[in-house]
Structure 1
Amino acid sequence: MVSRTKGFYARDYSLWLGWNNMRYIIEAAVLHGRILNRTTIIPTYVYARACEFDVSVCAAYATMVNRGDATGSNEWRQLPIEQQMAWRIPVSLMFNLTHLRERHAVITVSDYLRLHNISVDVETTNGQWDTDLYHRGVDIFSDSPVEPSLYAIKNEWYDAGNVVRVDQLPHSMRERGGWNITHEQVGSAITEETPLSLALHDAMTSGTSVLDWETTLRVVGDDNEVESSSGGGIARILAENGWEVLYTYGGACGSGATKDVTVPIRQAVPRSLLRGLYEDFGFIEQDVLLLNGEVHLFRKPGALRFTTIESRERYTQTVLYDFRLTDNVVELADQLFNRMVEKAGGRMWMAAHMRRGDFARLNWVMEQSFEAHLARVKSHLRDGRDILHSVHRGPLLAYKVPFGQADRSPLLLEPPAVHDKFYIATDERDPTNLAYLRDQGAILITDLLTIDDRRNFGWPLMLTDVLSLVEQATLARAAYFYAHAHSSVAGGVVNLRASYGADPRTALLDT
């Protein structure tokens, strides 16, 4: 697998983040590796943040560490000592790595170290690439030193200032030799100062480098010269005036925090601001190409935009179909789906994600009061019941994703009744609040799981991060789903729903 690629693509991974953040960071890394024809290196392990039982129980199966000590973060220092603990688990527990490797060149850090006869014990605990120890290899046949060469992409090179990072420069720029612009020249290159170009610049919001498509259409349509031009389409018109069309994602409910790939959008950008990942770094010959630092914050899925629809759709396929949950997660979620149908009297059932935990501690929750939060959830589920009655009558819709086909199960089950039970996924652990949920008609994961489920699944189910995967897969099968738009957990559920063929009207991410 490695020999079919140019070399390795490595990242500094922020292992102190939760799994859903790590998931879309890894998704972006795999995209970059494919663009650059390099084998992507991902962390060997991640950290599960909590144990469903006493910490010593999980520590009997997975290595327990202090999160702050392992990752170099002080975020958890003020918490009770047992809440500072985490469990180091193989990344292959979190998604189907075997399936991913059938479509992408991907190895773990420990794989890379073994390939170079370096002890796997030197893998850093915070996910940062060690530019010293990771490059002190030994040839297994001759015992002579082997030092993989390294080229590091400085973090500020990635999309410094108002640069717009794309997968590859558009054809119009390749014809003009636009890739010859140096890092120092980015932003100083002058776009053709036509009347339309100046009008588009004037329409841009201060502090942004791209123009939304609705505004682009309005400005182009208001230009008399453009109105009198013949044929060619808006992409040609933009190109003639020094601008290019980009393809990316709008995010569920317009939120970038979800990192979902279910809302395809277009944007316009001045040609002078574009920087192609392929043009900038595809020529590097060193064995390891390393991206320093983190690039996931305030960026689109994939940490870049695309210059063709085909490239964006290929990434959508990667996220929805190549990154699969493990078989045991899918199988257990299927059983939980059927049990919820039984609890709902054989009808469709609805679900919501109530994120509390660190969100409550950081004042990021929808409602600070637990009772008010649940009341908000139930209000939207009532609206969801009305939507399901409408959906049940057809016709069904599907997300605008590759291979998207509507799931027909809404036609096979009756819509929910007024007093039906509903499913709640939550990280709330206060016994009083959990009892309140059940009194209000909620079903929790622990109400559905059996001893046989735990035995068949195995010890990882004791870890909340793994249990959360099962909950996400279960939420994806709900007839209606409601959650907070600023949660990457919700974004993962929406991606799963799109891959399963859920009707987009049956999910609401609320701000």
Structure 2
Amino acid sequence: MSKPRGESPRYQRSVSIEGPISAAAPSRSNGAWGGAEEAGDDDARPPLASSRTTTMTGSVTYPPTRDGECVISFDGREVQRKDSVWSVSMQSQFDGDHVSSVDDDSDEDDEDGVNDRSELFPINNKGRIVKSERRNSREGPWRIESRESRTRPEDGWIVGGRRWRGAAPAVAGLVVLILLLLLTSMKVMDETYIREKIEGREGSKVVDSAELGPPRPALGTKVKLDSDPEGEYIAPSGPKLQEAVGTEPKFLVMDGDDARNFYDLRVIIETVLNLATISSRIPVIPGHVWMRSCRVKSKDCTQNSLDHREESWRGPEGWKIGIEHLIDIPHLRKIYGLVLTQSEFSTLFNVTPEMTLWSQAGIWNMESTALDGLSTSEITSNEWFNDAQFVRLDTNLPSWTEPESDAVIVGLDTARVREIQVDNAGRVWSLERARELLTKTGFKVDGDNHWLEEALRKVEQSRVYSFDERTDQIKIVAQPVVLMADRSRSFSFTDEFLTQPRHRDASLLYVSGPIWNEGRLGGVHFASQETRDQFVNMILEAIRPPKAYIEAGKMVAENMVKVNEGRKWLATEMTSVAAVHMQGSSSAEAKILNQLGLLEKGLAELSAHKAKNLPSKEHLYFLATDETDPATLVTYQRRRAVLLKDLLSEIELKILGWRAMFGDLLKLVEQEVMASSDYFIGCRVSRRTGAVLDARMGPRFEQEEWSWTLDEAA
């Protein structure tokens, strides 16, 4: 093949590996690359035929010239295994505007233990390569993916071969590159190798490969209460905690709920912080979250977790991860003040194990003998919080005085408005909801919102400050609103509980039950705009993921910009197909069509506010989904969706380290990516959408309010 001439290379990839090259087939997908897979067993692997030191290098450069010439070089041994364990053959054929690739995975020890694959890749201007998965029955499913970079954006080369402009020889180069990756995967994608890297064992030297990073540091190894020089959490010792809380400290705790995910737990944490602020106590927040998705072998996830529980009637298999790996605790303390996790609370009182104070389900154990000598008091949810007949406030409303306005709704008195309100909306409603219900009942409401508020004040309704009731399910503080409440049924946390000696004087105040699920964020409405806004600002600024997710998310977002050739881009969150069926949608195709319609509206909104670097008509968009079905994901990708796994490179995976093992933790990276987008379409039933919107409206991203919408059909 002739050497390239003319322009400098547009694209180049090289891989070099030194060390013992195993003769065994890849066992299954490297957790850093693939999706959730079945847990395998080391004992089930075939014996290695040999172990020898082999050096393999390869590179591909294409297309360096306008006429499509390319350079392909390969130097190595053992290209095709002869030990009856694994062999790969690849053929490519160009035909018009397509290239077909046929792979044959063979295992002579199995009768039909292989899945042969034939795929047709379009190579026109808007082409796409569909990610592939092959199965060898001996070793289980595994996936090979390519993560590349481009040097000339104007030529249209995209990370991972997602989209290209050029001739068929460009795809030929990619086919050879995949073959090269197949060879190197014998080492790079072997899970034994991943474990060795995690545990710090001596192993082969690998260049240009993905590593899961250092192991999670053991709890209690450091004594500083703030953070290390890099801002990372360091578990404090008992004496350091004692110094921080001082003498005669008072705490506030709530139940955690391990049946829920992190985003539900985050709402509980926000409520604990608010009630602790109101009561001038030290908040004790839930100390852990149970992960549900392990992307490598179960035992590897177990090694990097605090605890592991098997699947049972109570719930799926899970891995216990400290809350400090989901929330930046040092930053939270910097903004909020002193906060303790449940684990730190246990350390403070020298309680081991932690379960002495909390049940497996995250319920506080008031009968624990570990609390002997510590005065405690419990507020149960059925006392006050979960009763829809009450309006829960932080403090008392200002004294009521009849307004001097001439605004009046003819025929409406205090008793009648209470009847309408309770029958339809409880004891609190927005002005829009009040107008709708009063009009429906036959009253004439023809003034503006200020007029309506004055008219409602005359029937003993008062302002309370809260959050948009339309976003109740996603729990977003970035949408503060004014509501009207029945004064006669409005009670404050301060007067109802903190004035009672048993609650006021207790060293530990325990608020039991899921109060956050029945009311607004923070567990209460607010009597003043000032206190509501203080809570909002605290949440927007204080709650953020740890540094690793922020860094990885930023880099993935930059990759998304490259995917769209430097233009603005959109992101969306979608529930799984199972959830879609529950909502009445018929198929993944129907769901994606709905998404594309929303994206068109989002693009129009973006065009109305931004004039430069707008997305092209066939733009790619970022999709965060909990869907795991490969066929469904391919459907999404064919409709211009880009998934997290399409954008993650070795660099981001190294930043994430062991966290990349858990699908639940990768959701925090997706959260950062969605918050970075120029326009976002959220899911109205997802609390991760709420976290994304709070981040977008917060000081880190400062996105405009017009730059998002909710998918009401989700």
* TM-score, L = length of structure 2: 0.58
Q: 1:498, 1:478 → 2: CA distance?
A: 12
Match of 1:476 among 663, 666, 675: 675
The 1:51/1:334 distance shift into structure 2, 3 A limit, reads same
Amino acid across the alignment from 1:269: A
Amino acid across the alignment from 1:293: G
Amino acid across the alignment from 1:40: P
By how many angstroms is 1:158 displaced?
Answer: 2.6
The residue number in structure 2 matching 1:466 is 665
Contact map agreement 2:306 2:322 (CA 8 A) in 1: no
Cα deviation, 1:456-502, whole Å, max 9, x if unaligned, reads 22101221121001101100111111132111111111111111221
The answer to whether 1:128 aligns with 2:354 is no
In terms of Rg, which structure is larger?
2
Identify which range, 5-14 or 330-339, moves more after superposition: 5-14
User: SS state of the match for residue 263, structure 2?
Assistant: helix
Match of 1:92 among 304, 311, 324: 324
Contact map agreement 2:555 2:652 (CA 8 A) in 1: no
Q: 2:527, 2:454 → 1: CA distance?
A: 14
User: SS state of the match for residue 616, structure 2?
Assistant: coil
Q: 1:126, 1:215 → 2: CA distance?
A: 38
Match of 2:375 among 149, 168, 177: 149
Contact map agreement 2:302 2:308 (CA 8 A) in 1: no
Identify which range, 149-158 or 118-127, moves more after superposition: 118-127
User: SS state of the match for residue 25, structure 1?
Assistant: helix
The 1:240/1:380 distance shift into structure 2, 3 A limit, reads closer
CA RMSD of aligned residues (A): 2.8
Q: 2:508, 2:578 → 1: CA distance?
A: 37
Q: 1:452, 1:510 → 2: CA distance?
A: 33
The 1:365/1:75 distance shift into structure 2, 3 A limit, reads farther
Aligned positions of 1:153-302 closer than 5 A: 153-159=379-385, 160-172=387-399, 196-204=413-421, 206-207=423-424, 208-214=426-432, 241-251=459-469, 254-283=470-499, 284-302=504-522
Q: 2:390, 2:317 → 1: CA distance?
A: 40
Amino acid across the alignment from 2:350: N
User: SS state of the match for residue 172, structure 1?
Assistant: coil
Identify which range, 273-282 or 118-127, moves more after superposition: 118-127
The 1:483/1:356 distance shift into structure 2, 3 A limit, reads same
Cα deviation, 1:426-474, whole Å, max 9, x if unaligned, reads 1111122222222222211111111222122210122112100110110
The answer to whether 1:424 aligns with 2:623 is yes
Contact map agreement 1:16 1:67 (CA 8 A) in 2: no
Q: 2:299, 2:595 → 1: CA distance?
A: 35
Cα deviation, 1:252-284, whole Å, max 9, x if unaligned, reads xx1310101122222222212111111122232
Q: 1:91, 1:357 → 2: CA distance?
A: 29
User: SS state of the match for residue 136, structure 1?
Assistant: helix
Cα deviation, 1:284-316, whole Å, max 9, x if unaligned, reads 201111111211224211121111011111111
By how many angstroms is 1:342 displaced?
Answer: 0.6
Contact map agreement 1:6 1:37 (CA 8 A) in 2: no
Q: 2:536, 2:572 → 1: CA distance?
A: 25
The residue number in structure 1 matching 2:115 is none
The 1:235/1:39 distance shift into structure 2, 3 A limit, reads farther
By how many angstroms is 1:48 displaced?
Answer: 1.2
The residue number in structure 2 matching 1:47 is 290
Contact map agreement 1:38 1:105 (CA 8 A) in 2: no
User: SS state of the match for residue 538, structure 2?
Assistant: helix
Amino acid across the alignment from 2:596: K
Match of 2:559 among 339, 342, 348: 339
The residue number in structure 2 matching 1:510 is 711
The residue number in structure 2 matching 1:11 is 254
Q: 1:265, 1:357 → 2: CA distance?
A: 33
User: SS state of the match for residue 152, structure 1?
Assistant: strand
Cα deviation, 1:12-40, whole Å, max 9, x if unaligned, reads 11121011111111111110011000111
The residue number in structure 1 matching 2:646 is 447
List gaps (5 residues or longer) in structure 1: 77-83, 138-145, 176-193, 394-412
The 1:217/1:421 distance shift into structure 2, 3 A limit, reads closer
User: SS state of the match for residue 13, structure 1?
Assistant: coil
Match of 2:339 among 85, 92, 106: 106
User: SS state of the match for residue 214, structure 1?
Assistant: helix
Contact map agreement 1:203 1:215 (CA 8 A) in 2: no
Q: 1:426, 1:342 → 2: CA distance?
A: 21
Identify which range, 111-120 or 298-307, moves more after superposition: 111-120
Question: Greater helix share, 1 or 2?
Answer: 1
Match of 1:485 among 656, 676, 684: 684
By how many angstroms is 1:198 displaced?
Answer: 3.6
Which structure ranks higher in relative contact order (CA pairs < 8 Å, sequence separation ≥ 6)?
1
Match of 2:702 among 501, 508, 511: 501
User: SS state of the match for residue 549, structure 2?
Assistant: helix
User: SS state of the match for residue 484, structure 2?
Assistant: strand
By how many angstroms is 1:201 displaced?
Answer: 2.5
Cα deviation, 1:305-339, whole Å, max 9, x if unaligned, reads 11101111111112211112211111111111111
The 1:417/1:235 distance shift into structure 2, 3 A limit, reads closer
User: SS state of the match for residue 289, structure 1?
Assistant: strand
By how many angstroms is 1:355 displaced?
Answer: 1.5
The 1:320/1:110 distance shift into structure 2, 3 A limit, reads same
Contact map agreement 1:12 1:129 (CA 8 A) in 2: yes
Amino acid across the alignment from 1:320: L
Contact map agreement 1:45 1:90 (CA 8 A) in 2: yes
Q: 1:46, 1:115 → 2: CA distance?
A: 21
Aligned positions of 1:309-328 closer than 5 A: 309-328=529-548
Contact map agreement 2:572 2:623 (CA 8 A) in 1: yes
Amino acid across the alignment from 1:87: W
Q: 1:110, 1:358 → 2: CA distance?
A: 36
The 1:48/1:357 distance shift into structure 2, 3 A limit, reads farther
User: SS state of the match for residue 509, structure 2?
Assistant: strand
User: SS state of the match for residue 353, structure 1?
Assistant: strand
List gaps (5 residues or longer) in structure 2: 1-243, 402-410
The answer to whether 1:33 aligns with 2:276 is yes
Amino acid across the alignment from 1:487: S
Contact map agreement 2:291 2:319 (CA 8 A) in 1: yes
Amino acid across the alignment from 1:169: N
Q: 2:619, 2:493 → 1: CA distance?
A: 51
Cα deviation, 1:70-90, whole Å, max 9, x if unaligned, reads xxxx464xxxxxxx2111001
Match of 2:595 among 364, 372, 377: 377
